[in-house]
Amino acid sequence: MRQSLRSLSVKIPLLGITLLLVCAVSIAYPIYVRAHYELESTMSHELLGIARSCAALIDPDQHEDVFAISVEEFEGAESFERIRDTLRTIQSANDLAKPIYTLRPALDYEESGEVEFVVMTDLIAGRPYVGNRMVASPYVRQVLASATPVCTPLYADSEGTWLSAIAPLLDGDHVVGVVSIDYTGTKFESALARMRTAFLWVAATATFLSGLVMVVFVRPLVRRISRLTEGTMRVAAGDLDSPIGVRGDDEIGRLAVSFDAMIENIRSARGAAADAIKDAERAAQVKASFLANMSHELRTPMTAILGFADLIADPSSLSEAEFREYITTIQKSGRHLLVVINDILDFSKIEAGKMDIDPRGVAIGPLLLEIVELLRLRAEEKGLTLTVEFTTPVPDSVVTDDVRLRQVLMNLIGNSLKFTEKGGISIRVGTVLVENRQMLELRVQDTGIGMDEEQLGRLFREFEQADNSTTREYGGTGLGLAISKRLAQILGGDLTAESEPDAGSTFRVTLPISESVHTRWISSPEQPKLASAAPKKKSRVVLDNRVLFVEDGPANRRLVTTLLTKAGATVVEAENGRLGVDAALEAEREGNPFDLILLDMQMPVLDGYGAARELRARGYDRPIVALTANAMASDKQKCLDAGCDGFQPKPFDRDVLLAVVQSYSQPRADQGGGRPDVPA
């Protein structure tokens, strides 16, 4: 590389000199050509003037008389001598004019194209040149034809270099001959030689100045360019540690600075790319691990459901205790499967920005006691304590989404129960200042296995738990804490964690407090409970109404029909929306209408949305409740917009479904139309 750069430092000056020399020659050569043309034009104009003057001095009649004189009588003949004296006078006045002679067309000029000599200033071998013939040159023929003087270009023969001026001899308007003056090219050649010398001097001077410019100005420039080139070649070879090292305020200096900045950007980009590759590889590993774990989380409860369903298919081989145990296992596995599916759906909604919240006043004390009661059995099964403690007075209620807050707390307490083997879990409630703003703080503190700093750093990432061994031992999707943190942020607060290995973990949920004149501050979760009435014992739901259930899935039709029939309802089934519309309208015409239509929304032939819209368009005003697996808030609104009165997502709890159907029941004596005033 160095040798090539040294060669470059030689070639560039030579190339520069050559270019400057070419530029100088390109400028000087047109000047030389122009001067040559001007010189030739000047001499031609001078010669033509002499030729015209000579032709004007010759009497054409005397010129014709010369042919009447015999060769012996030429010497002393008046007409011959007079013409020759004229020619010699012209010759003596112009020292560069050599032979001057006249010509006339031969008698057979049209056929032969020849002309004859008439008078010449010199004698040939002591005799006149009269009568000799020669083929007319193109210039002579041009003058004879056009009666216009011409001057030949410079030409050479054995006697030297010449220019010839030819002028017509006119007898009135008739050309009777020509006068030709041969002009030696010595003067012209001398002028050309001087011009060539000047041209060479110009070229030599340009060459010298070019070399001087290259030495003084270009060589330092070339050295800087060479250093710049060497630096860029190092960069091309992968060396990003050495700067270009060329400085200056000119274009090369700025280019070098730009290269140095580019090298720094490449280094940064290379580092960022390496980090991105590592992150992508880690994400791929995490997602692969998540998919494997998710497959396990889905297949494990599904295996239990299908396996125990096979066992209870033959009830004769089972005792009553085994039968109840298997049913309970199927129910638990189904609920666990539903939790996994809900986690996936919640995360998808959060990622898509579709997670809707429904803020309302939420009583903190009853909510915490409800959660504790739901999870107390799990804690007692592991020999753990589960307590609620207020560290400071707190508002009796906060404005938030109770469903999402319950989801966050259930997830945190459930995690603590999962990872704690001895001791217990305490829920501490109080107020804290966060950026000069008073917030409600709910701390879930356990005495479990804890985590180190590296595990804490990954804790709230999607698809991750503390490590793979945790997943294998305790299970889980790795989405719960990520969802909980995002939900806490959506609710206007945050979720953070502290932990030490073998010393337990503490999760802090903060929520904004919105005080009003009606806000009461409480110091114990028991206060609201003491003020409330004791819960009533749940009674068995008894139905006495007609229900049209429109559903394309045979298993779901069988399940819902069985549940409602055992509760006392009369159920009519339809397999798609078209059959459902026909059945509803037919019952109206027969005077035996349905009290309620349970309508699946995804069906062949005519879906639930189309069926509801058609019924409303045809004047049907009895209650319609959407019973669908499309469980998002936007799906609920879509159902209501289509004409439904209520919305119940699948899967559903039996008691919830019976309560929904009961809320739309009407006394059997009233068969009139109209919808009951029950919220959707």
Mean pLDDT of 466-476: 48
Amino acid at 74: F
- For residue 21, the model assigns a pLDDT of 66
Instruction: Label residue 290 by pLDDT band (50, 70, 90).
Output: low
**531 and 397 Cβ atoms separated by less than 8 Å:** no
Residue 340: pLDDT band by 50, 70, 90 thresholds? Answer: confident
User: What is the rounded CA–CA span in Å between residue 644 and residue 634?
Assistant: 14
| Cα 372 from Cα 374, distance rounded (Å) | 5
Sign of CA dihedral 251, 256, 262, 264: negative
Tell me the pLDDT band of 670, cut-offs 50, 70 and 90.
very low
- State the average pLDDT over residues 27-52: 75
> What does the pLDDT read at residue 538?
55
> In this predicted model, what pLDDT tens digit does every residue of 86-117 receive, in sequence order?
777 777 776 666 677 788 788 788 888 888 87
> How confident is residue 436, by pLDDT bands cut at 50, 70 and 90?
confident
Confidence of residue 517 (pLDDT cuts 50, 70, 90): very low
The 10 Å Cβ neighbour count of residue 397 is: 23
CA nearest 16: which of 209, 211, 208? Answer: 211
Distance CA 398, CA 396 (A): 7
Helix axes 608-617, 577-589, angle to 10 degrees: 30
Query: Can you read off the two tokens belonging to residue 562?
Result: 């069985």
Confidence of residue 17 (pLDDT cuts 50, 70, 90): low
Record the pTM. Answer: 0.48
Residue 455: pLDDT over 90: no
> What CA dihedral angle connects 302, 305, 311 and 312, to 10 degrees?
-160
In the chain, % of residues over pLDDT 70: 75
More confident residue, 604 or 59: 604
Contact 575, 549 (CB under 8 A): no
Query: What whole-number distance in Å separates Cα of residue 388 and Cα of residue 428?
Result: 6
Q: Write down the pLDDT at residue 200.
A: 75
Least confidently predicted of 28-32, 151-155, 499-503, 525-529 = 525-529
pLDDT of 325 higher than 90: no
Give SS3 for 371. helix
CA–CA dist 416, 445 (Å, integer) = 8
Quickly state the pLDDT bin for 508 (edges 50, 70, 90): very high
pLDDT band at 570 (very low <50, low <70, confident <90, very high): very high
Distance between CA atoms of 500 and 450, rounded to whole angstroms? 5
User: What distance in Å separates the CA atoms of residue 85 and residue 499, rounded to the nearest whole number?
Assistant: 136
β-sheet bridge partners, residue 598 = 549, 625
Q: Is the pLDDT of residue 321 over 70?
A: yes
Higher pLDDT, 645 or 310: 645
What CA–CA distance (Å, rounded) separates 22 from 16? 10
Question: What confidence tier does 123 reach under pLDDT thresholds 50, 70, 90?
Answer: low
Pairing assessment for the beta strands 394-395 and 438-446 based on DSSP bridges: unpaired
- Distance between CA atoms of residues 263 and 559, nearest Å: 70
- A 10 A CB-CB count for 331 gives 12
Cβ distance 329 to 492 under 8 Å?
no
Closest by alpha carbon to 202, among 41, 30, 36? Answer: 30
- Token digits of residue 648: 């119940």
Backbone angles phi, psi at 114, to 5 degrees: -105, 155
Give mean pLDDT, residues 351-355: 73
Between residues 274 and 600, the one the model is more confident about: 600
Average pLDDT, the chain: 77
Long-range pairs of 431-439 with CB within 8 A, sequence gap ≥ 24: 431/392, 431/393, 431/394, 431/513, 432/510, 434/510, 437/512, 438/513, 439/493, 439/510, 439/511, 439/512, 439/513
Q: Is residue 259 predicted with pLDDT exceeding 60?
A: yes
At residue 124, the pLDDT reads 44
**CB neighbours of 203 closer than 8 A, spacing ≥ 6?**
21, 24, 25, 28
Nearest to 47 by CA among 83, 104, 91: 91
Contact (CB, 8 A) for 433 and 483: no
445 φ/ψ angles, rounded to the nearest 5 degrees? -115, 130
Task: Give residue 282's pLDDT band: very low, low, confident or very high (50, 70, 90).
Answer: confident
